[in-house]
Amino acid sequence: EVQLVESGGASVQAGGSLRLSCATSGFSFDDYVIGWFRQAPGKGREGLLCIHNGDGTTYYADSVKGRFTISSDSAKKTVYLEMNSLKSEDTAVYYCAAGPNTEVLLTAASPFSGMNHWGKGTLVTVSS
């Protein structure tokens, strides 16, 4: 079965940085798209960025361009989220999700549908 496990969440000061990891198993890694989402207190779940593990194609939401970077390591079957210049509004539970490349179109205006497998999340708290 597809399994996703996030790690790396912590409490940091505004302006700091963190790297989150999404360890995966149970599927053909290079045939899937992995995305990062977050849910802030009192808000809905927001898609941030995603990557096609096979060809490296990426999508970045405007809210994270220039601050967040996604990368993929096929050997480790792990996807990383590097977050820099963190702001208080980045405080949220961060989730990774996966979907087959046949169900996720990275060239779409909003490519965050089709990722039906989810981790349990990791908490990031940014102090203002």
What is the structure's pLDDT at 111? 84
Cβ–Cβ under 8 Å, residues 112 and 39: no
pLDDT, mean over the chain:
95
CA-CA distance, 115 to 20, in Å (whole number)?
A: 19
Instruction: Show the tokens assigned to 14.
Output: 């505004």
**Per-residue model confidence (pLDDT) at position 17:** 98
Task: Count CB neighbours of 6 within 10 A.
Answer: 22
Query: What are the per-10-residue average pLDDT scores of the chain (128 residues)?
Result: 97 98 97 97 94 94 94 97 96 97 85 92 96
**Interacting residues of 8 by C-beta distance below 8 A, sequence separation 6+:** 18, 19, 20, 21, 122
Q: Distance between the two ends of the chain, CA-based, in angstroms? A: 40
